[in-house]
A and B are shown apart, each in its own frame.
Chain A
Amino acid sequence: MPEARMEAFMARIQRGEKVEAHDWMPEDYRLLLLRLIHMHAVSEIMGAYPEKEWVPKAPTLRRKMSLMAKVQDEIGHGQLLLRVAEDLAAPLGRNRIELMDDVITGRIKFHNVFHMEAPTWADAGIIGWLVDGAAIITQTALLDCSYAPYARVLKRICAEESFHMQHGESIILSLAEGESWQREMLQDALNRWWEAIMFFFGPPIVTDAARRMMEYRIRSRTNEELRQKFLTRYVPRIRSIGLEIPDSAIRFDEDAGLWRYTEPDWERWSRVVRDNTGPKSQERVALRRMAHQDQAWVREALVRARTAAAI
């Protein structure tokens, strides 16, 4: 009987049908999805921190407002994704509070790029342009996900990312059109971020978890396919504004039809993500602790106010 249920589930997936939160699903499917979406949600929220540092310093009123709106959107995406993760976690007896606690205890990881320093305004620009650009590519690759609640939320997220794309490009273009020291600042920022962005897509090998996600039609593209798409889109644009990609090996191999590049230090970056040992990992986890645990009194107060109002 359980096997028949599993077969029926896989048959549905193969037919291209979508799965909803209350449908029966194999435990393996639930756990893979939960890990993916939980990490996605947490990365959106942790991703707010490096850019948030630049909101108070944004150099014009318009930049101040637009960067605020952008960071706000990221947190909003975190909210949408958390709700999807919470519904997947509910049957396991876990709620929002615990999913957030996991960030603080290190049980859930967030993307390597958000462990890094963003020491200049140009870093804010590179995050908006290239880190977001990379994230947009990985997110659009999930739009056809077999889990409908995730696919629906991604549709909304991608629509808002279209503003983020323009926003990031606008900052970059101003720097590229600007003074020579602004262009230097931009090049320095690119040098800092390039390897991290290459790592962001994940290793070229298809892990067991990645293979299962493809079987479940949670995702349909490999890490390498997505990295290649990113390179095809962005390398010419990066060069067009006079920037140099800090990788002497980068070139398009016409025969193979793909980009050659220097592989990031997989070991080192994996450790950063696994152990929260990047230059800013601990500081940003501490910010989340401040928001979440140190303000538990606010959450408790609203529940008590509800009770007080009911009496």
Chain B
Amino acid sequence: MAMTQVEKDLVQEQAADTSYDVYEIFVQASDLDPHVHVGSVLAPSPEWALQLARENFLRRAEAVNVWAVRREDVHATPADPDWFAREFDRKYRDVSGYADNARRWKRFKAQAMNIDDVIADVRKE
């Protein structure tokens, strides 16, 4: 028996309605860490996704926060390696581009600085 388009749509809608959604799970390990993607769960709602994510992904690891994001709401870059193309060096914006500073400071009988020293110094009581 042939179905009309309306019937077909209805069947499809009902089928979609009885299945769970995929939620992508992101875990924040500590307050100073960003949320990191760890995997996904099938769940009927965002609340359930969070409930289920806890034991499916945090049986051992510690965390301070979890995000559950419906997969449809994740926008990803295309699978095109050229999207990330970076052919020429950008040493001018890197520490490694300034390796000569240390040698030049020596001439002035002074030491080059680095950020770790500054942080340690500022933190020091």
| Direct A–B touching, Cβ under 8 Å | yes
* Known pairs A72-B59, A76-B59; A23 contacts B79 (CB<8 A): yes
Pair count A-B, CB < 8 A: 46
Partner of B18, one of A73, A156, A300, A305: A300
A86 / chain B contacts, CB cutoff of 8 Å: 22, 42
Partner of B20, one of A22, A80, A156, A299: A299
Partner of B44, one of A83, A153, A302: A302
Q: How far is the CB of B54 from chain A (nearest CB, A)?
A: 12
B39 within 8 A of A: yes
Expressed in whole angstroms, the Cα–Cα distance for A300 and B44 within the complex equals: 9
User: Residue-by-residue, is A63-76 near B (CB-CB < 8 Å gives 1, otherwise 0)?
Assistant: 00000010011001
**B17 touching A303 by the CB < 8 A rule?**
yes
Give the size range of A's interface with the partner.
Answer: 20 to 34
A228 within 8 A of B: no
B38 / chain A contacts, CB cutoff of 8 Å: 156
B19 / chain A contacts, CB cutoff of 8 Å: 95-97, 303
B20 / chain A contacts, CB cutoff of 8 Å: 96, 299, 302-303
Expressed in whole angstroms, the Cα–Cα distance for A307 and B79 within the complex equals: 36
**A80 touching B79 by the CB < 8 A rule?**
no
A57 within 8 A of B: no
* Known pairs A22-B79, A83-B39; A73 contacts B59 (CB<8 A): yes
**A83 touching B45 by the CB < 8 A rule?**
no
A20 within 8 A of B: yes
Q: How far is the CB of A25 from chain B (nearest CB, A)?
A: 11
- Considering the complex, give the chain A residue whose CB is closest to the CB of B76: A22
Expressed in whole angstroms, the Cα–Cα distance for A160 and B20 within the complex equals: 27
Q: How far is the CB of A178 from chain B (nearest CB, A)?
A: 30
A95 / chain B contacts, CB cutoff of 8 Å: 19
Q: How far is the CB of A184 from chain B (nearest CB, A)?
A: 35
Expressed in whole angstroms, the Cα–Cα distance for A306 and B21 within the complex equals: 12
5 contacts between A and B (CB under 8 A): A22-B76, A69-B59, A97-B19, A156-B39, A302-B20
Using a CB–CB distance below 8 Å, which chain A residues touch chain B? Answer: 20, 22-23, 69, 72-73, 76, 79-80, 83, 86, 95-97, 153, 156, 160, 299-300, 302-303, 305-307, 309
Given contacts A96-B19, A299-B18, 8 further A-B contacts (CB under 8 A): A79-B56, A83-B22, A83-B42, A96-B42, A302-B20, A302-B44, A302-B48, A303-B17
Q: Which 3 A-B pairs have the closest CB atoms?
A: A302-B44, A306-B45, A23-B79
